[in-house]
Amino acid sequence: MLSLASFGTPFLDAQVLIRGPRLLVGESALTLRGVTYSPTPIGRTAGPTLTGAGCLYARDLPLIAAMGANAIRTPSRVDPADATFRRALADTGLYWLASFPLEPYFDPSASLDPEAPGGIALRDRIAGDFLEYARSWAGEPRLVAISFGNEVGDGYSAKFAGERRHYYSLLAEVARRVADEGLSVAVAASVAEPTEIGAFNLGTTDVLQPDLALWLLDRSGSVAIGGAVREARGRTSKAIVLSGFGVDAYDQGDRAANPTLQGELSGALAAEIEVQQRSQTTLLSGAFWNGYVDEWWRGGAADLHGAGGTARADAPDGFWNPGWSGLFRAVRTGVDGFDSLQPRPVYFTLAAAWKGSPPPELSAVGSPVLAQGGVVNGVSGFGAVARGGLLAVAGEGLSGSSYQAAAADSLPPRLGAVSLCVGGYNAPLFRAEPAALSAQAPWEADEGLAQTIAYRAGVASNPEPVELRRAAPGVLDRGVFRPGLPCPVDEYNGVPPGSFLEVYGSGLGEGVAPLDTGTGAPGPLQTALAPRARLNGFDIPVLYSGLFPGAAGVYQTNVQIPEDFPSGLAELRLESDGYFSNPHRIEVLNSAQKPVFGLGQIEPSALVVQEGGEGKTAYVEVVANHGFCDVVRFQISGLPAGVRATIPVGLPGQFLPITVWAEPGAARVDAAPITITGLSTAPATVNVRKLSVTVLPGSGDIALRVVSGGFVSSTPLARFEVEGRSVFETTGGGPGRGFNFLTLNDRTGEISPVRTFDTWGSDAAVTAMETYLRSLPRGTVVLGAIADDGVYRITDETRRVLAETLGAQLIDQVQYQWSWAIISRAGATQPMAERLSPISVVVLDRVLSFPLEAP
């Protein structure tokens, strides 16, 4: 369960300005690299307003930012009251090109001509609605501009009666009214063809559109971009952005998906766009890939991934099918509205072009799994959770790494590529680990049974129910203190009768004023419900109860132990709205008990660091008894030459970090014993613990060994050694079966955790391995080894990926249960070393001198 923690600082924003043909942030030019974002689930049709996406922002926007994009474009409106969307923008640092779609006003019998019957009334209604929308978003720091409609001039007769110039005259009017009001909102217009820009007969010249800030040109489906951009630039001196570019992943001629071709063509398109962006002639200010995920309804029926499309002569196959244009495939999960995502090659191609860094979780095997009954109160561990309270999620494969929120009073909608949805609303996260998540239950969710779904890099977990209540109290572990003192009160470190206590917990319900999910109270905020406190079943005085400032979902309750309460162990509980908290055991002291402290075991007890690399950290707990509350200081002795360590100072109840690192040039050391000594003065006490430290080289000549044993070799194993020390080993057909990869940074020699792909037991592992190999930064040193068997489920495509990413020469020859090992660099055309054997273990040895030359 959760305990109190401290966090860091929030994200800072910068306003976008549009001056002539350029976008600026401050005095620096801004070039938009974006994605059109319309996350319509399978079986649904997009509407004029983005709805039901609160849980999806946290799923999607981090993946967009990770690919190197810096902006999104939404074809639909976004509700100004959508605080989750605002938080997601701030969290990812993405800029936003907004839209005000005119579809709700389309009527082929109605005209925007001010002289036509009803024309003025229709114009006033649209302009008024647009101004209201612009006012509501004015001052949003991530907003670039709001587009007045989406390609309204294309197929105009099916939308409005009259002529296109009437729409463009209305565009000029709304842009003028925005300027007259002094709103800090730029107005944009989107067109399908460059000939609609700078046309006197349409009213789209710069003179006739003086207050328009930005032209958006849609080239979705086309492989001919440069000519259109140049023509548009010749017609205006205003800023130009491609509101859509890209090709779809469906080949109309073959009647089959072809994501590989889509990926290859996207690289050429990105290169052409960069040319136009760098050109002083065209001054293209950005481009948006259209779109983020396949929206089935755009290609036909909403519940069928159809092969429909519209003819387009400059498309690769002569057709543009927007239902297949996503960076990601949508995959049914069985839960309506919560599809999983599967990246296409185009995602990685654009990430390389935009210098992004796709999250490693994209190559994770399988889906995240929520344990049955694994969503519980994050403090008490009971099944019920209060709205706005803390919750805990148990499962497997929930995260690829451990993450913690930077600020407890401003929780992010996701950590890394991990997010959580409860009752249809985003649950902002405190912490994410492979087997556990901790979060705040959304205030917006309804009471009753709610479904919980976790996302890891776009892949959805199974749903798991949780009961949401008005109140469901819990007392935090290490959450009871004496006023003004930082030492926890518990069954070992107690207080005398008559003591006042501050009890920190969760689940005591709403405050007397509302709060946004994920935010802490700005100051003391009393609870609407008054809780009761009981000690060994007896009521004790409650002096105050309120939301704790500075931590979302955390409450403070002040109580007093009666003067005549007997000494010994006692159970403290809080009760609210008829529900009891977990018991918190405390020691009520007698006069004969004296304070003392001890040290817990150091975890981990051994550290392995690299010379010149990042430090590694172990933790030691200060354990107090009988009312001890004093500073404990530490001494560290036995550090080898060139090895340094932080020297902590702490208090009871804290897990103190001891970070050890090796300076450049430090010699190799094997399991050197280091002594950690804790000392206090009141009373004088000494406690000692041991820590083992090993130093591996990170520069100069480093000896590497790779060992592979297929099942037929009678020794099914994979092992990686650095300077004669095993850093990874697996045997048999269990964990580690399949392909194993260890990587080293080609400049620093830093070792990354081993990735294992069970390509004997899982088709998902095959896909995950292909994704992982494609995502490796060029030049990375890669050690690979098969254990037991690695080829049972791989395909010709998998062998091609191994050859293309690692330069593998022998992989096409590897058969079932053979041994195979490789030492190479990502992007190499041939490996440094590679061996295979049908009957015996293979061993590769190489000595590399770091830093390596750039590939």
Q: Is 21 exposed, middle or buried (0-12, 13-18, 19+ CB in 10 A)?
A: middle
Q: Which amino acid is at 78?
A: V
Q: What is the pLDDT of residue 14?
A: 63
- Alpha carbon distance 219, 208 (integer Å): 25
Phi, psi of 278 (to 5 degrees): -80, -20
Is the separation of the CB atoms in 693 and 609 below 8 Å? yes
Q: Report percent pLDDT > 90 for the chain.
A: 82
Question: 733: pLDDT confidence band, cut at 50, 70 and 90?
Answer: low
Q: Is 106 helix (H, G, I), strand (E, B) or coil?
A: coil
DSSP 383: S
pLDDT, tens digit (0-9, with 9 covering 90-100), for 108-160:
999 999 999 999 999 999 999 999 999 999 999 999 999 999 999 999 999 99
Question: 325: pLDDT confidence band, cut at 50, 70 and 90?
Answer: very high
Q: How many CA atoms lie within 13 A of 225 on its CB side?
A: 32
- Alpha carbon distance 489, 706 (integer Å): 52
Question: 5: pLDDT confidence band, cut at 50, 70 and 90?
Answer: very low
Question: 10: pLDDT confidence band, cut at 50, 70 and 90?
Answer: very low
Q: Is 812 helix (H, G, I), strand (E, B) or coil?
A: helix
- Alpha carbon distance 326, 332 (integer Å): 15
- Alpha carbon distance 336, 324 (integer Å): 20
Q: What is the pLDDT of residue 748?
A: 87
**127-131, 516-520, 733-737: which range is least confident on average?**
733-737
Question: 684: pLDDT confidence band, cut at 50, 70 and 90?
Answer: low
Average the pLDDT over 642-647 and give the result.
Answer: 94
- Alpha carbon distance 695, 616 (integer Å): 11
**Chain mean pLDDT for the chain:** 93
**73-77, 352-356, 664-668: which range is least confident on average?**
664-668
Would you say residue 4 has pLDDT above 50? no
pLDDT, tens digit (0-9, with 9 covering 90-100), for 371-404:
999 999 999 999 999 999 999 999 999 998 899 9
Q: Is 302 helix (H, G, I), strand (E, B) or coil?
A: coil
Of 412, 420, 416, 360, the C-alpha closest to 395 is 420
Residues 6+ apart with CB under 8 A from 691: 602, 605, 606, 607, 618, 658, 660, 673, 674, 675, 676
Total count of residues recorded for the chain: 855
Is the separation of the CB atoms in 491 and 623 below 8 Å? no
Is the separation of the CB atoms in 287 and 273 below 8 Å? yes
Question: 413: pLDDT confidence band, cut at 50, 70 and 90?
Answer: very high
Please, what's the b/e burial string for 393-421 (b: 16 or more CB within 10 A of its CB; e: otherwise)?
bbbebbbbeebebebbbbbbbbbbbbbbb
Rg (CA), the chain: 31
Confidence (pTM): 0.76
Question: 688: pLDDT confidence band, cut at 50, 70 and 90?
Answer: confident
Q: What is the pLDDT of residue 682?
A: 65
pLDDT, tens digit (0-9, with 9 covering 90-100), for 267-311:
999 999 999 998 888 889 999 999 999 999 988 888 888 877 889
Q: Which amino acid is at 88?
A: A
Domains of the chain: 25-355 (3.20.20.80), 368-593 (2.60.40.10), 598-696 (2.60.40.10), 700-850 (no CATH)
pLDDT, tens digit (0-9, with 9 covering 90-100), for 833-850:
999 999 999 999 999 999
Structure tokens at 149: 């409609």
Structure tokens at 842: 């293979």
Would you say residue 2 has pLDDT above 80? no
Is the separation of the CB atoms in 157 and 108 below 8 Å? yes
The kind and range of the H/E element at 66 are helix 54-66
Average the pLDDT over 37-46 and give the result.
Answer: 94
- Alpha carbon distance 845, 535 (integer Å): 66
Question: 26: pLDDT confidence band, cut at 50, 70 and 90?
Answer: confident
Of 747, 729, 748, 743, the C-alpha closest to 772 is 743
Average the pLDDT over 398-421 and give the result.
Answer: 94
Question: 7: pLDDT confidence band, cut at 50, 70 and 90?
Answer: very low
Average the pLDDT over 48-59 and give the result.
Answer: 88
Of 747, 723, 715, the C-alpha closest to 819 is 715
Q: What is the pLDDT of residue 683?
A: 63
